[in-house]
Amino acid sequence: MQKRKLGNGGLEVSALGLGCMGLSFGYGPAVGRADGIALIRSAFEAGVTFFDTAECYGPFVNEELVGEAVAPFRDQIVIATKFGFQDGDSKNPSDCRPERIRAVAEASLKRLKTDRIDLFYQHRVDPNVPIEDVAGTVKDLIREGKVKHFGLSEAGAQTIRRAHAVQPVAALQSEYSLWWREPEQSVLPTLDELGIGFVPFSPLGKGFLTGAINPGTEFASNDFRNVVPRFSEANRKANAALVDLLGEIAAGNGVTRAQIALAWLLAQKPGIVPIPGTTKLHRLKENVGAAAVELSAGNLAAIESALQHVQIAGERYPAHMQQRIDR
């Protein structure tokens, strides 16, 4: 798989990464440990060198899974993990005090079985801690060799600028896909100006863009899509127009909907590295195959034109989660 650079600090990763959250957390029952390890190792064998986790995925167990899985090839890959929530639980308030960031770094290093964190993200902006203090703390961890690069997640343009002035930001991670394009308004231009990479999470619309989810799909009781407005039965029905559109484009190119959605992201800018997640080996192979799909200028223009006629229904987060997004 081709490589891409995130930011101007020499961080090079595979064009597609693997979002590991769903192996342990968020999308129903966790996979068995052996199965999770096997999937991560299969991703590496397929050319993936960028693996995304966080202390709050579980909490904690996802980092342990990733650490064990990548141990045989640790020096050939990039691990991204995150800090930002009280006691490492995403249901709790933000906690990005310097002492907390340091404690998370030490705990994550142990769980990941490594001596450095390649990319350390602030998971959500903490309204109670100046971003300069957050960036300064990570800068110190970088000086100490415990962290290699600094990242932000779901941060707005002004916060990115303030952080970057203290410690260069290698990458911003935020949701971006064919059904969520808000980053194009102010965030992407800011990243271009400052030389910061972009890591889209949920690049397949939390599975919706694959076509595998329909109005009758029932999610597991602990699947957070149950509370996401965009996944209500009525909104799934309304949003089927986008899935149908992707199906037509995919058929015309001899690929799948997921591959079109990922190829579209890759075609936007050279510093974009999507991190689709999956628990299934056949989906992993499908996603990896998207890195070889090249959309022509005509394809991209047709997609853009068609999207003008598709109205996406439903908010991407419930209100209590939306409040955590930095503007």
Is-contact 123 56, C-beta < 8 A?
yes
Q: Which of 298, 299, 278, 297 lies closest to 288, judged by CA?
A: 278
What is the residue-wise DSSP string for 93-161? PB---HHHHHHHHHHHHHHTTSS-EEEEEESS--TTS-HHHHHHHHHHHHHTTSEEEEEEES--HHHHH
- 175/19 Cα distance (integer angstroms): 12
Residue 258's alpha-carbon distances to 166, 243, 249, 266, 324, in angstroms, are: 38, 10, 11, 12, 28
Here the contacts of 34-42 (C-beta below 8 Å, separation 24 or greater) are 35/279, 36/65, 36/69, 36/279, 37/65, 37/68, 37/69, 38/281, 39/278, 39/279, 39/280, 39/281, 39/284, 40/65, 40/66, 40/69, 40/70, 41/69, 41/72, 42/281, 42/284
| HSE-CB for 7 with a 13 A CA cutoff | 20
- Catalytic residue list: 57
Which tokens in the block code for residue 237? 């029905």
Compute how many other C-beta atoms are within 10 angstroms of the C-beta atom of residue 90. Answer: 22
